[in-house]
Amino acid sequence: KAAQTIEPTFLFYREDMNRRAKEHLRLESEMRLALGDQELELHYQPKVSLINGQIVGAEALLRWKHPLRGMVSPGVFIPVAEETSLILELGTWVLDEACRQIREWEDRGLRMPVIAVNLSARQFDAHLPARVAAVLERYRVRPDQIMLEITESLLMRGADKVIEIMNELVAMGLSLALDDFGTGYSSLAYLKKFPISTLKIDRAFVIGLPYEENDCAIARAIVTMAQQLRQEIVAEGVETPEQMRFLRSLGCDQLQGYLFSPAVTAVEFEAMLGEGRQLMLEEIM
Write out the binding residues for Mg ion, residues 215-274 only, by CB under 5 A: 236
Per-residue binder mask for ligand C2E (CB under 6 A), 113-152, x = binder? -----xxx----------------------------x---
The closest alpha carbon to 87, from 39, 12, 32, belongs to 32
Asked whether position 149 contacts Mg ion by CB under 5 A, the answer is yes
Q: What DSSP element (H or E) covers 146?
A: strand 146-151
Asked whether position 28 contacts Mg ion by CB under 5 A, the answer is no
**Considering beta carbons, is residue 189 or 267 the nearer one to ligand C2E?**
267
CB under 8 Å to 149, separation ≥6 — which residues?
A: 59, 116, 117, 118, 119, 177, 178, 179, 200
Per-residue binder mask for ligand C2E (CB under 6 A), 157-196, x = binder? ----------------------xx----------------
- Tell me the C-alpha distance between 29 and 230, whole Å: 44
CB atoms within 10 A of CB 239: 15
Task: Mark the segment that binds ligand C2E (CB under 6 A) among 70-78, 158-166, 168-176, 182-190.
Answer: 70-78
**Considering beta carbons, is residue 152 or 236 the nearer one to Mg ion?**
236
DSSP H helices, 67-176, are: 74-82, 86-107, 128-139, 152-157, 160-172
Contact present, 22 and 15 (Cβ < 8 Å): no
Write out the binding residues for Mg ion, residues 104-123 only, by CB under 5 A: 118
In the chain, what is the greatest distance between 2 CA atoms, to the nearest angstrom? 76
Asked whether position 168 contacts Mg ion by CB under 5 A, the answer is no
Task: Mark the segment that binds ligand C2E (CB under 6 A) among 4-12, 137-145, 164-172, 234-242.
Answer: 234-242
The closest alpha carbon to 243, from 280, 211, 220, belongs to 211
**Considering beta carbons, is residue 17 or 231 the nearer one to ligand C2E?**
231
**Considering beta carbons, is residue 73 or 265 the nearer one to ligand C2E?**
73
- Binds ligand C2E (CB under 6 A): choice among 27, 114, 263, 266: 263
Asked whether position 58 contacts ligand C2E by CB under 6 A, the answer is no
Write out the binding residues for ligand C2E, residues 80-99 only, by CB under 6 A: 91, 94
**Considering beta carbons, is residue 87 or 273 the nearer one to ligand C2E?**
87
**Considering beta carbons, is residue 149 or 270 the nearer one to Mg ion?**
149
Asked whether position 57 contacts ligand C2E by CB under 6 A, the answer is no
Pick what 176 binds: Mg ion, ligand C2E, none; C-beta below 5 to 8 Å, kind-dependent: none
Contact present, 227 and 201 (Cβ < 8 Å): no
> CB burial class (10 A; 0-12, 13-18, 19+) of residue 276?
exposed
Contact present, 68 and 126 (Cβ < 8 Å): no
Task: Mark the segment that binds ligand C2E (CB under 6 A) among 13-21, 50-58, 170-178, 235-243.
Answer: 235-243
Asked whether position 96 contacts Mg ion by CB under 5 A, the answer is no
- Tell me the C-alpha distance between 100 and 221, whole Å: 38
CB atoms within 10 A of CB 65: 14
Asked whether position 152 contacts Mg ion by CB under 5 A, the answer is no
The length of the chain in residues reads 285
